Amino acid sequence: MLERLEGRLMWERTSQGILVTIPIPRGLTVPLYGPLVIIWLVFASFHYWHLLAAPHPDITEFNLQLIALGVYAVGTCFFLCWMIWIFTAENVLSLVPSEMKIQRRVIGIEVAVTRFPTHNVRNLRYIPPTKFWALSGYIDPKTSYIQFRAGSTKHSFARGVTETEAHALIRRMLEVYNFPNRQLPGEVDDPA
């Protein structure tokens, strides 16, 4: 049974470790783009409904309208896929003492998975959000994440987490496996 860990994060204890779901942040485009596209879809639906119901004396004009109808259908499919992605996409962290697994799911279906042996994972840390590229004073909350090293490579997950969510998640992860916070010889600790 999933319980709230902190903020948007949900977690449950498994037989050997933990399972944490991290929703993907929606961002600023959803409240702006979503209603505009819905209005466009409604008006275009009425237009094409009347177009297909009327007689068609000029076949050339009708063919152009069919092409426009095809573009409308593709746009509708793109919009529906975008809405499904925005409202159902999540990252799932599965951690047991021997392995850390990060999954990306959409509608509960695994889209991508990355596995790391826990003995290779180190330097878990929260990376705070950066300024939004178009507005100099605005901090973009979607740019925060949790970073770690596995072997000699940096990896990240949990984009858009707040600082309190990240620290709660890292504390819970350390209960399952004591990830070291150490540099290997020759590594440079940079925030990026």
**By percentage, how much of the chain surpasses pLDDT 70?**
86
From first CA to last CA, the distance across the chain in angstroms is: 36
Do 75 and 67 touch, CB atoms closer than 8 A? no
pLDDT by residue (tens digit) across 136-190? 667 777 889 999 999 889 999 999 899 999 999 999 999 999 998 865 555 555 5
**The pLDDT of residue 96:** 96
Tell me the one-letter amino acid at 133: W
Average pLDDT, the chain: 84
Chain CA centroid to CA 160, Å: 9
Q: How far apart are CA 141 and CA 70, in angstroms?
A: 37
Residue 130, pLDDT above cutoff 80 = yes
Q: What burial letters (b/e) apply to 14-35, b meaning 16+ CB within 10 Å?
A: eeebbbbbbbbbeeeeeeeebe
Beta bridge partners of 106: 109
Q: State the burial class of residue 148 (Cβ atoms within 10 Å of its Cβ: 0-12, 13-18, 19+).
A: buried
